[in-house]
């Protein structure tokens, strides 16, 4: 066994979502940990999957994904962002965004190369960079604004830097990178000849303004591997249909790796997501507005319970500081929370390299039914009342 590699994977906290969901299942606690909605996405998309199965679309699809989904992804990029991609040479279907990011990083990084990413980071990035034998260089995002210092970003781009990973809207903070920040990131990618791998799975879950892909910035179209997926946009996280858009040489490299990871995936679901991507604009704005109301509801409840709340601009997640409850270790707090309050949340220190950063930050998922969010907030308020001070 590759003991050291496996230990490093564990060290990346890769199992935190599974650990917390297992804890919720075992204790019957309300699960605001792992990010998944408690209601399914559009009926028309679910029906399309049922019909695709009934129609016999159950064997291996083409390696790049079924043509109708590749065309639907290209049309989506054009419709929402004015980005033109050739469905035959510039779009690849993957097993969720997870595989898209993994195949991209494995394709782009030589052992010893450096990958620049913002901290806190989504756990899979650190794990895949380690799998590739590459090294990560992190640039801090800290509350309350989760802004980065441009000089710190520039300093993190060393001789061996090859790739920059950008996740916006950002998990776990809920930050949506602003146009000025994106322009600065783009400028540095061009100047240092970096390829950007962008994880845009929350692209339609933005509460104010709009999502802007990094690929739309000057010089970025052909140096960006844009990754997204259907899970969040259509509240169907278990289907694992994702995609990658990139210039032909980059896409070819990603496809070459992807074919030996999963080869292909989700034939019938691919057909259904092609239908989903073609829904009218009202669907996409509606899903954001609906989630925004849930965000507000959860934020109010968390603030009323005495937590410091950093209101997110997008994503499924609300970041809080539980320090005001007298807590000095968010991980211990989260592990005791099911028993003490019938709740599950995610400690954010596992998404940091700096052991002191994020010690008292805790992430809560707002993609749940309103009554579930209210009940969670009430449980937390009762717990806070019992905490001395
Ligand atoms: N990236 C981010 C930032 C995520 O939060 C998630 C989790 N849903 C993923 C990627 C994984 O996406 P998928 O389920 O499409 O693999
Ligand atoms: N992206 C989801 C989250 O951040 C979880 C996905 C997973 O379990 N890997 O909670």
Task: Write out the H or E segment, with its range, that includes residue 105.
Answer: helix 96-108
d(CA 320, CA 358): 10
- Kindly report the number of other CB atoms within 10 A of residue 42's CB atom: 18
Domains of the chain: 2-39+282-384 (3.90.1150.10), 43-279 (3.40.640.10)
d(CA 168, CA 178): 9
> Residue 124 C-alpha to ligand 1 middle, in angstroms?
9
Stretch 71-75: mean pLDDT: 98
Task: Write out the H or E segment, with its range, that includes residue 101.
Answer: helix 96-108
d(CA 268, CA 254): 23
Residue nearest (by alpha carbon) to ligand 2 atom 3? 35
* Per-residue model confidence as pLDDT tens digits over 324-381: 999 999 999 999 999 999 999 999 999 999 989 999 999 999 999 999 999 999 999 9
Query: Which of the residue ranges 169-173, 206-210, 385-389 would you say has the lowest mean pLDDT?
Result: 385-389
Instruction: Give yes or no for residue 338 CB within 6 A of ligand 2.
Output: no
d(CA 329, CA 325): 11
Note whether 374 and 301 are within 8 A (CB): yes
Which 3 state secondary structure label does DSSP give 376? helix
Pocket test for ligand 2, best of 35, 99, 366 (most atoms within 8 A of CB): 35
Residue with tokens 């756990």: 123
The total number of residues written for the chain in this structure: 389
Give pLDDT, residue 389.
47
pLDDT band at 386 (very low <50, low <70, confident <90, very high): confident
Beta strands 346-347 and 361-365 are antiparallel
Closest CA to 199 of 137, 270, 124: 124
Backbone angles phi, psi at 314, to 5 degrees: -170, 180
């Amino acid at each position: 066994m590759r003991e050291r590699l496996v230990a490093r994977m564990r060290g990346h906290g890769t199992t935190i979502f599974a650990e917390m969901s297992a804890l919720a299942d075992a204790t019957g606690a309300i699960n605001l940990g792992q990010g998944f909605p408690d209601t399914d996405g559009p009926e028309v998309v679910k029906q399309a999957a049922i019909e695709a199965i009934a129609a016999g679309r159950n064997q291996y699809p083409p390696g790049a994904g079924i043509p109708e989904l590749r065309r639907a992804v290209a049309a989506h990029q054009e419709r929402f962002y004015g980005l033109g991609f050739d469905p035959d040479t510039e779009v690849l279907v993957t097993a969720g965004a997870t595989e898209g990011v993994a195949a991209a990083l494995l394709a782009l990084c030589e052992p010893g190369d450096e990958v620049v990413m913002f901290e806190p980071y989504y756990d899979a990035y650190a794990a895949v960079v380690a799998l590739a034998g590459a090294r990560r260089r992190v640039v801090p995002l800290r509350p309350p604004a989760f802004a980065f210092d441009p000089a710190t970003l520039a300093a993190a781009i060393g001789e061996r830097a090859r790739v920059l990973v950008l996740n916006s809207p950002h998990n776990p903070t809920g930050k949506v990178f602003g146009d000025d920040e994106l322009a600065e990131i783009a400028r540095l990618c061009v100047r240092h000849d970096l390829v950007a791998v962008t994880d845009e799975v929350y692209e339609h879950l933005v509460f104010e303004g709009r999502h802007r892909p990094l690929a739309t910035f000057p010089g970025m179209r052909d140096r960006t591997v844009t990754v997204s997926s259907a899970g969040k946009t259509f509240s169907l996280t278990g289907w694992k249909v994702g995609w990658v858009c990139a210039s032909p040489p980059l896409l070819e490299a990603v496809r070459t790796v992807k074919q030996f990871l999963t080869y292909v995936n989700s034939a019938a679901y691919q057909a259904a997501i092609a239908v989903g991507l073609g829904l009218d604009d009202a669907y996409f704005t509606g899903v954001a507005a609906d989630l925004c109301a849930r965000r507000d509801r959860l934020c109010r409840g968390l603030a009323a319970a005495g937590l410091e709340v950093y209101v997110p601009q997008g994503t499924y997640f609300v970041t809080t500081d539980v320090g005001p409850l007298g807590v000095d270790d968010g991980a211990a707090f989260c592990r005791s929370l099911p028993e003490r309050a019938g709740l599950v949340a995610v400690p954010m220190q596992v998404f940091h390299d700096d052991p002191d950063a994020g010690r008292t930050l805790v992430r809560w998922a707002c993609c749940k039914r309103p009554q579930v969010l209210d009940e969670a907030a009430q449980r937390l308020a009762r717990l806070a009342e019992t905490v001395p001070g």
